[in-house]
Amino acid sequence: MSSSTAALAAAAAASAALLVLAAFAGGVEARERESAWLPAAKKMAAAPKKVAAAAAAKVPAVIVFGDSTVDTGNNNVVATMLKSNFPPYGRDLGAATGRFCNGRLPPDFMSEALGLPPLVPAYLDPAYGIADFARGVCFASAGTGLDNATAGVLAVIPLWKEVEYFKEYQRRLRRHAGRAAARRIVRDALYVVSIGTNDFLENYFLLVTGRFKQFTVGEFEDFLVAQAAGFLAAIHRLGARRVAFAGLSAIGCLPLERTLNALRGGCVEEYNQVARDYNVKLNAMIAGLQSSLPGLKIAYVPVYDDMLNLINNPSTLGLENVEQGCCATGMFEMSYLCNEKNPLTCPDADKYFFWDSFHPTEKPILKILAKELQILSSWCAMIGIPSFTQWSYFSSTDTM
C-alpha cells in the first residue's frame, strides 16, 4: 500500500470513529452526572495541603491554556461531543470532573506543589467563582489547537477564545481584588501551556480541514510555530511573564494511532518525526521570543523523550501495557466511547501508560512531570520561585 493510500485509509477510519462517537454521544448525554461531583471536587480544591507557603507567596496562581492534556473541565459546558465528565473518567480522583484521565493533570500537581489548591478549576465551571480563579484558572479546551481550524473539527473552544476569556478574567479579577492586586497576580502567576497534538492528528493528517492541501507538513509546522509565537506575544501584552510551554509528545505512539497503523504495526514513525521536527522549531522560536519581549521568561518543556523512554522501558514504572488504554479495549475509545457500560475497562490503571486511546493515566503524568521539573529547576531559580523538586511527591517518583 502506498503512503498516500495508507494516509487516506487512516483518515477514513478515524473519520468513521468520530461518526460513531457522535452517534453514541446522544445516547450517553442523558446519563451524564454533571453536578454529582461538584461538591467533593470543590472541597478538595479549597483545602490544599500545608506545603510551599513561600512558593504560594511568590506564585499566586497557576493559569492554564491548551487542549485536553490540561483541560480541567471547560468542555463540560461546551456543545461538543468531546467530553469526559462521566465515569469511568476520574475514577481514581473520586469524581468525573471533565479531565481526560483517571486522575489529575499536570497543572493540578504543579498547583499543589506551589502551595495552591490541588485542583485547578475550569473557567467555565459554574461551581467556581472569581475568588477561586484568583488562585488558579484553566481556559483550556479538549480538542483545540494552535490552528483555529482545529477547534472547528469537534466544535470546541479555539485558542483565540481562550485568550478572550483571559481578558474577561482580568476584568473580573480587578473588580474582586483591586487593580494593584490583580496586576500582581497576573504578573507573578505561572502560565502552563500544552497544545499542538490535535493540529496534526485531528486536523492535518485527518484530511478534514484542507490544511493538507494548503501546506506541506514542514510548512504546517512553521505555520503552527508562528501561531504559538502570536499567542505568546498576546498573553505577554496582557501581563503574562512566567510561561511553561510543553513540546509535543511521541504522538505516533498513541493507542489510536497504533490502531490505525495496524497494517504496519507499532508506533507511526512518520508522526513521531513530525513531532520531533516541530519541537526543534518551537524551541528555537521560544529562545528568540524571550530576547524580544521584555520580562518574558519561557521554559520549553521537552516531554517527547521521557514519554518514549517510558514506553520503551515500562518496567521502570511498573507498567504492563503501553500500547492500549485502560478504558474499554483501549484501541480507539475516548470520550463517550469510554464509558462505565463497557465491561472491558481494566481494574488497575496504574499498570497502563494510557487511560483511553489518546490520553495517559495519572501515574506516567506524574513521573514525566517530575523529570521535566528537575530539568526546569534552573528556570525556577531564574524567575524567583522555589524548585518543584523540593516537594516530596515529585522527588519520590524517582523510586517508583
Tell me the catalytic residues. Answer: 68, 356, 359
Task: Report helix angle 159-177 to 217-237, nearest 10.
Answer: 10
Asked whether 383 and 191 are in contact (CB, 8 A), the reply is no
Asked whether 158 and 151 are in contact (CB, 8 A), the reply is yes
Interior/surface letters 87-119, b for 16+ CB within 10 angstroms, e for the rest: bbbbbbbebbbbbbbbbbbbbbbbbbbbbbbbb
> How many CA atoms lie within 13 Å of 369's alpha carbon, on the beta-carbon side?
26
Q: Which helix (H) or strand (E) holds 301?
A: strand 297-301
Number of continuous H segments (helices) and E segments (strands) in the chain: 17, 7
DSSP 8-state symbol, 206: T
Closest CA to 201 of 159, 143, 155, 259: 143
Q: Is 60 helix (H, G, I), strand (E, B) or coil?
A: coil
Euclidean distance between CA atoms 179 and 287, whole angstroms: 32
Q: Is 144 exposed, middle or buried (0-12, 13-18, 19+ CB in 10 A)?
A: buried
Residue 313: C-alpha distances to residues 141, 152, 193, 353, 372 (Å): 31, 37, 27, 11, 17
Asked whether 34 and 97 are in contact (CB, 8 A), the reply is no
Give the chain's end-to-end CA distance (angstroms, integer). 43
Euclidean distance between CA atoms 295 and 201, whole angstroms: 34
Euclidean distance between CA atoms 61 and 132, whole angstroms: 10
Asked whether 80 and 154 are in contact (CB, 8 A), the reply is yes
Q: Is 329 helix (H, G, I), strand (E, B) or coil?
A: coil
Cell of 262: 495496524
